[in-house]
């Protein structure tokens, strides 16, 4: 077995672009520092709404293939070399927004058997042996069925991967020392939107989103890890987001999705430790305080 880097970070996301919006600074930082950064994306976002008019005719499998290329380009911007699709390309389809008929598609992620889907992630966990796993909260950040299911898959896989009685064919058990959820402190979000509204006349977007449109906003006291961007990592994040051109329009210091509502582009990223050491801490390193990690 090839020797693994001393620090190993695993991120579990629902669609291409989620990783860059939520964790672009974090991924760029740790990749540059020599950590193994592994991204698992659960679907190719085949039902995403396309922004550029010249690409709006692309949908379904063709859109998934296009977004896979966008994901590869974003990973190059972040310096991440280990990006995978849960169960392989096309194994799970985009479920669409909550409440749509798309949720009933037997091939969509929302309908996937939880333990089967988690088993694919167990194999990754036991292979790369991450000390930190990052995913969404139990509402998926904002209620999208694929985000909720990605959360459930990640949390279930953490439990299964640590159990030696579960799928020994997938490798030796591994107990992930720390699990974090993507977060944004409410005070930071409110201040950022106040600045955005002042800047709006000079931006290419007519209207602003609201704090409620930002996934994972919580009370400040729930934040336990803060990863501050610098000029390099902030630029890498913006470039990675631009790579997802079907889904995101970037106009720093903000961006918009297909609803054309401006949101702040956060260059500091925040997390809540929900398992492992550090749940009461104020950390600036996702690996700080984990036994055996330099």
Residues in the annotated binding site for Zn(2+): 15, 18, 147
CA distance 243 to 247: 9
Q: How many CA atoms lie within 13 A of 32 on its CB side?
A: 15
Query: Do 32 and 47 touch, CB atoms closer than 8 A?
Result: no
Torsion of CA 213, 215, 220, 223, to 10 degrees: -170
CA distance 275 to 270: 16
Phi/psi for 256 (5° steps) reads -140, 150
Phi/psi for 208 (5° steps) reads -105, 145
């Amino acid at each position: 077995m090839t020797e693994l880097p001393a620090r190993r970070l695993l991120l579990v996301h629902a669609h291409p672009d989620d990783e860059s919006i939520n964790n672009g600074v974090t991924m760029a930082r740790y990749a540059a520092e020599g950590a193994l950064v592994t991204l698992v994306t659960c679907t190719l976002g085949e039902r995403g709404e396309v922004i550029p008019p010249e690409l709006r005719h692309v949908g379904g499998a063709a859109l998934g293939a296009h977004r896979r290329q966008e994901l590869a380009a974003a990973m190059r911007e972040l310096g991440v070399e280990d990006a995978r699709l849960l169960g392989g390309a096309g194994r799970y389809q985009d479920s669409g927004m909550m409440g749509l008929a798309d949720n009933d598609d037997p091939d969509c992620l929302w309908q996937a058997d939880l333990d089967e889907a988690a088993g694919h992630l167990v194999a990754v966990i036991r292979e790369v042996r991450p000390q930190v796993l990052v995913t969404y909260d139990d509402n998926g950040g904002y209620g999208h069925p694929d985000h909720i299911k990605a959360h459930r898959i990640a949390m279930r896989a953490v439990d299964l991967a640590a159990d030696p009685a579960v799928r020994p064919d997938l490798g030796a058990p591994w107990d992930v020392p720390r699990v974090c959820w993507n977060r944004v402190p409410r005070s930071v979000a409110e201040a950022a939107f106040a600045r955005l509204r002042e800047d709006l006349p000079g931006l290419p977007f007519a209207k602003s989103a609201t704090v409620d449109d930002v996934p994972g906003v919580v009370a400040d006291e729930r934040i336990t890890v803060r990863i501050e961007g610098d000029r390099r990592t902030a630029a890498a994040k913006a470039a990675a987001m631009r790579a997802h051109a079907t889904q995101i329009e970037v106009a720093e210091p903000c961006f918009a999705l297909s609803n054309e509502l401006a949101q702040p582009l956060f260059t500091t990223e925040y997390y809540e430790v929900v398992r492992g050491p550090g749940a009461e801490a104020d950390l600036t390193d996702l690996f700080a305080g984990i036994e055996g990690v330099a």
